[in-house]
Amino acid sequence: MAMRPSSSNKKSSNKTKALGRIRGPDNKRAVTPDNVIAVLLELFAQLQIDPTQFSSRVKSASKSSLSGRLYSHTATIGEVLTAWHQNPEYLDSVGNPSPIRIRGRTPSFFGLASLAAPGIDPAALLIELKRLGAVTLDRSKRVRVNMRSLPVYMDRDVAIHYTLTSLHNYITTLRHNLQSDPTNSDQLFHRIAWNDSFDRSLIPALKIKLRRQGQSFLESFDNWMARKAKSAGGEREGAKRAQISIGIYLAVDGARAPKLKLIDPKKPSSRRSSTFA
pTM: 0.60
CB atoms within 10 A of CB 125: 20
Instruction: Provide the angle, in degrees to the nearest 10, between the axes of the packed helices 109-116 and 122-131.
Output: 100
Q: What is the pLDDT of residue 274?
A: 32
Q: What is the pLDDT of residue 262?
A: 47
Q: What is the pLDDT of residue 257?
A: 55
Q: What is the pLDDT of residue 237?
A: 65
Q: What is the pLDDT of residue 201?
A: 94
What are 155's strand-pairing partners?
263
Q: What is the pLDDT of residue 98?
A: 94
Render pLDDT for 149-184 as a digit per residue (tens, 0 to 9).
877 777 777 788 778 888 888 888 988 998 888 887
Phi, psi dihedrals of residue 219, rounded to the nearest 5°: -65, -35
CB environment 63-83: b (16+ within 10 A), e (fewer): eeeeeeebbebbbbbbebbbb
- Residue 274 DSSP one-character state: -
CATH ID of 72-152, from 1.10.3470, 1.10.10, 3.30.9, 1.10.150: 1.10.10
Q: What is the pLDDT of residue 78?
A: 79
Domain positions in the chain are 72-152
Q: Which of 213, 111, 235, 225 is nearest to 98 (CA)?
A: 111
Report d(CA 151, CA 85) in Å as an integer.
17
Residues of the chain with pLDDT under 70: 1-31, 55, 57-75, 230-238, 255-277
